[in-house]
Amino acid sequence: PKVLVFTEDGYFLRSWNYTVDTPHGIFAASTLHEQSVWITDVGSGSYGHTIKKYNSFGDLVQVLGTPGKKGTSLNPLQFDNPAELYVDDTGDIYIVDGDGGLNNRLIKLSQDFMMLWLHGERGTGPAKFNIPHSVTLDSSGRVWVADRGNKRIQVFDKDTGEWLGAWDNCFTEEGPSSVRFTPDGKYVIVAQLNLSRLLLAAAPPVGSIGNCSVISTIQLADQVLPHLLDVSGKTGAIYVAEIGAKQVQKYVPMNSYFPSFGS
């Protein structure tokens, strides 16, 4: 099966295998109206180059993109290796499209899939990308993008798309592969793929994001390769998808959070 569902304690519940080619990113969304599961599909088969919405039992609800056809078009909407997405509480959707494909884009769609704003050019300057690989929001209404190929995290205003700054001083060795926040919003957790490392940084207050300040790190085993991660909003547990080890590991904070959880 390509999609597996477990409890937070690791007990298997169900799976599904249909309408999925090669899943890359997954996001469990909870809005005022519904709960859903979103999957980015980077496959080259008949279901690939799409983003799919399912209900909790695996029934396909919505497909974004042109199934089986990669492209750069915005109308109709096309993707090429869409890496990840984030759905906020209102149902608006933030997509990073371009894990080595034709596109290097950050797209915001409304809950009814209308384009709200876009940054979509390959490059090294502000609001340009080289493999945008992960996206998340903080409690201050800022969009954080792991710009892996440029070895930085870029930050945008979620309403206007305005560029707010970038963190690059923490990523001189290896770019960020995934970015998330702790439930209290105080810390940023970043996965660094080829270093097999998780990094914890202080989250900036409202306003300027300043520079990245590392609080702690977790060094994983060699060749574990943490690809994407997520954090439980209830328990603070960190779930890490490790493509080297071909597993998902759960890390539980010892006390309130790091640094007691790191090294």
Query: pLDDT 10s digit of each residue in the chain, 263 long?
Result: 699 999 988 999 999 988 999 999 999 998 888 899 999 999 999 999 999 999 989 999 999 999 999 999 999 999 999 999 999 999 999 999 999 999 999 999 999 999 999 998 999 999 999 999 999 999 999 999 999 999 999 999 999 999 999 999 999 999 999 999 999 999 999 999 999 999 999 999 877 799 999 999 999 999 999 999 999 998 999 999 999 999 999 998 876 555 444 43
Task: Report yes or no on 156 lying in a domain.
Answer: yes
Task: Report yes or no on 130 lying in a domain.
Answer: no
Residues 2 and 113 in one domain: yes
Average predicted confidence (pLDDT) for the chain: 93
Tens-digit pLDDT profile for residues 87-121: 999 999 999 999 999 999 999 999 999 999 999 89
Residues 248 and 143 in one domain: yes
Residues 114 and 145 in one domain: no
Question: How much is the pLDDT for 50?
Answer: 98
Number of domains forming the structure of the chain: 2
Residues 112 and 190 in one domain: no
DSSP characters over the chain: --EEEE-TT--EEEEE-TT-SSEEEEEEEE-SS-EEEEEEE--SSTT-SEEEEE-TTS-EEEEEE-TT-----BTTB--SSEEEEEE-TTS-EEEEE-SSSS--EEEEE-TT--EEEEE--BSSSTT-BSSEEEEEE-TTSEEEEEEGGGTEEEEEETTT--EEEEE-TT-SSS--SEEEE-TTSSEEEEEETTTTEEEEEEPP-SS------EEEEEEPPTT--EEEEEE-TTT--EEEEETTTTEEEEE--SSSSTTTT--
Residues 181 and 112 in one domain: no
Task: Report yes or no on 129 lying in a domain.
Answer: no
Residues 141 and 113 in one domain: no
Task: Report yes or no on 193 lying in a domain.
Answer: yes
Residues 159 and 201 in one domain: yes
Residues 166 and 230 in one domain: yes
Question: How much is the pLDDT for 152?
Answer: 98
Question: How much is the pLDDT for 164?
Answer: 96
CATH number for the domain spanning 34: value is: 2.120.10.30
Tens-digit pLDDT profile for residues 185-198: 999 999 999 999 99
Task: Report yes or no on 260 lying in a domain.
Answer: no
Pick the last residue of a domain from 87, 119, 151. Answer: 119
Domain holding 64, by residue range, is 1-119
Task: Report yes or no on 127 lying in a domain.
Answer: no
Task: Report yes or no on 80 lying in a domain.
Answer: yes
Pick the last residue of a domain from 119, 152, 170. Answer: 119
Residues 249 and 143 in one domain: yes
